[in-house]
Chains A and B, each alone.
Chain A
Amino acid sequence: MTKVGVLGLQGAVREHVRSIEASGAEALVVKKVEQLAEIDGLILPGGESTTMRRLINQYGFLSPLQQFGKEGKPIFGTCAGLILLANEIAGQDQPHLGLMDMKVERNAFGRQRESFETSLKITGVADDFEAVFIRAPYIVSVGDEVEVLATYQDAIVSAKQGHFLCSAFHPELTNDHRLTQFFVKMVEEAKKELAL
């Protein structure tokens, strides 16, 4: 069975586990670097990106996570996870994992009182996806190899680059598992290819 990990340092971990299981894959909460060897794909959950980055550094996760991505294993970042994947963050000198060619802005829609939910069209996934945005970032610009999957009021809120996927919203907070299913399929395909 395909095994998808959720980085479990901080944030909405349990909800992703539930969504992975509802999408027909096995889930593993990853708290230690060694566990990366057991999984076929990884979700970087929502939470506080600054907090997560500090914990990533503290437990030596930074280069193992980058290595995991470079080996061709799929990674899906939601909200804070999207910020971790980007290779450029507005107002910051250094990115985190820097795996996706895009520039992102943190808390781009404003503070908590500006947080919202809306119905979104996500290319190849759904025409009416229930998207929950919480102090969400958005993608300011993307490189040539990045495919834009969804926009909201001209801001890019979901994108894909090869085996990397990201969303500014939280698919794990609803019972709409279509985006997670889409990712699980990416993981299954990558697993087949990597086995060849």
Chain B
Amino acid sequence: MANLGTDRVKRGMAEMQKGGVIMDVVNAEQAKIAEEAGAVAVMALERVPSDIRAAGGVARMADPTIVEEVMSAVSIPVMAKARIGHIVEARVLEAMGVDYIDESEVLTPADEVYHLNKKDYTVPFVCGCRDLGEAARRIGEGASMLRTKGEPGTGNIVEAVRHMREVQAQVRKLTTMSFDEIMTFAKELGAPYEVLVDIKENGRLPVVNFAAGGVATPADAALMMQLGADGVFVGSGIFKSDEPAKFAKAIVEATTHYQDYKLIGEVSKGIGTPMKGIEISTIKAEERMQDRGW
């Protein structure tokens, strides 16, 4: 007898992506460039985050035509984004056979109170987190993979660094706690107790945690790996750079060999100008994507 959509199958899929780079693409041509450069998966979108930011208005799930086009163009897994709490967008993507859904703050939330009950789905989900409380809540809802929220579409790594460090520091704190301290910690974090106990017992998160939201250069990708990321999502960074194919390849290499600084220096040569980037303090509070969801 075969069991579909078990935790092991859903989390395991993300384990296979470790040490790899997942790239945002908006059409088949970009998807092929990403696959050729060695991406472990692609995220099919209508617009990359920096364009979503520039365009304003309501950002929704991509046109299914784009997602299908990308799915038939590559043999690596294809992910797609659904709005936070949008049950139907998520079900549509699942029905289309998308390999992973990102319940993403890059899109305009459909529900300001509730995230999806991801345990209900056969398809696995990735969700963003800024700290251990948020990570544990998403795991509690059934997320099979996490990523930092960072600040998408900015090309500024500072928020992703903050979120990765925060989660790592809180996991370290939790693993050194005695069991009688965990319930109070759960209350402080607003985190499900059982998830924290599991992390305490295993000494690490039960799912992988990738870096996302602001990775713009090979050195940024390597920095996030060094800080303990299991892999890297690159959104606007690649196809908003001058030479996407070279840039994509360089980011893959820097992620694989994140401690080989000589190599990172080599691959960073002659790959053109990275995306321009935005200083976080110039973004109005209501335009910060990381504050969407809770």
**Given the contacts A112-B13, A113-B94, A173-B8, A135 and B77 also touching, CB distance less than 8 Å:** yes
Q: Give the contact-size bracket for chain B.
A: 35 or more
User: Are the CB atoms of B38 and A118 closer together than 8 Å?
Assistant: no
Closest to B257 in A: A31
* Residues in B whose Cβ lies below 8 Å from that of A119: 1
* Residues in A whose Cβ lies below 8 Å from that of B8: 117, 132, 173-174
CA distance A122 to B151 in the complex (A): 48
User: Are the CB atoms of B12 and A170 closer together than 8 Å?
Assistant: yes
User: Are the CB atoms of B20 and A51 closer together than 8 Å?
Assistant: yes
* Minimal beta-carbon separation of A52 from chain B (angstroms): 9
User: Are the CB atoms of A115 and B20 closer together than 8 Å?
Assistant: no
* Minimal beta-carbon separation of B82 from chain A (angstroms): 15
Whether a CB of chain A sits under 8 angstroms from the CB of B6 is yes
Whether a CB of chain A sits under 8 angstroms from the CB of B100 is yes
User: Are the CB atoms of B15 and A12 closer together than 8 Å?
Assistant: yes
CA distance A9 to B258 in the complex (A): 11
User: Are the CB atoms of A51 and B38 closer together than 8 Å?
Assistant: yes
Whether a CB of chain A sits under 8 angstroms from the CB of B53 is no
Segment at the interface with B among A42-50, A66-74, A140-148: A42-50
The number of inter-chain residue pairs (CB within 8 angstroms) is: 113
**Given the contacts A79-B16, A112-B123, A134-B16, A55 and B3 also touching, CB distance less than 8 Å:** no
Query: Which of chain B's residues 139-178 have a Cβ closer than 8 Å to chain A?
Result: none
User: Are the CB atoms of B19 and A11 closer together than 8 Å?
Assistant: yes
User: Are the CB atoms of A10 and B40 closer together than 8 Å?
Assistant: yes
**Given the contacts A50-B35, A135-B77, A114 and B4 also touching, CB distance less than 8 Å:** yes
User: Are the CB atoms of B18 and A10 closer together than 8 Å?
Assistant: yes
Whether a CB of chain B sits under 8 angstroms from the CB of A13 is yes
8 pairs, A vs B, C-beta closer than 8 Å: A47-B17, A54-B252, A79-B16, A80-B16, A111-B97, A111-B99, A115-B13, A173-B8
Which chain B residues have a beta carbon within 8 Å of chain A's beta carbons?
1-6, 8-9, 12-13, 15-20, 35, 37-41, 75-77, 94, 97, 99-100, 122-124, 252-253, 256-257
